[in-house]
Amino acid sequence: MSLRSATGVLALAAIAAGCTARGSIEGTDLRYRRVRPAVAYEILRDSPDALILDLRAAVGESSGSLGRARHVPLAELPAHLDELVDYRERTFLVYCGGDRKCGEQGMRLLLERGCSYAVLIDGRLDGWTSLGAEPAAGPPPDV
């Protein structure tokens, strides 16, 4: 088993163990995984090169972001989907702002393009910071 495969297996095991919910896109057969922020951190710890996709419309200094997250506003995601071809077979994390529809719309677009291992962080960035973590500084202190 290659290191990439082993890392993927570990990440999927973490998802399975800590999955808070399975979401479904209304009007489709598409289903996606959602995880708590603590599980998202475990995935990042086990797969430090995992993509983190920030779909929020705007990112300011006051709102922060998860360290090395790649910011692609949801409205611009369709134009950037081809750039994610290397991640279609890999687990990666997605988060949005306060609008729950943002996460669902983003996940729909990703799943329709074959990114079946995309995982939505439940609770958005607020969920990460509610654990006591500074977004850019890294993990929650108790994880």
Contact 85, 42 (CB under 8 A): no
Tokens of 110: 């990703």
The predicted-structure confidence for 54-79, as pLDDT tens digits, reads as follows 898 876 544 556 667 898 999 999 99
pTM, full prediction: 0.72
Residue 81: burial class (beta carbons within 10 Å; 0-12, 13-18, 19+): middle
102-114: average pLDDT: 92
The predicted-structure confidence for 30-49, as pLDDT tens digits, reads as follows 788 988 888 888 888 888 88
> Residues of the chain with pLDDT > 90: what percent?
25
CA distance 90 to 50: 8
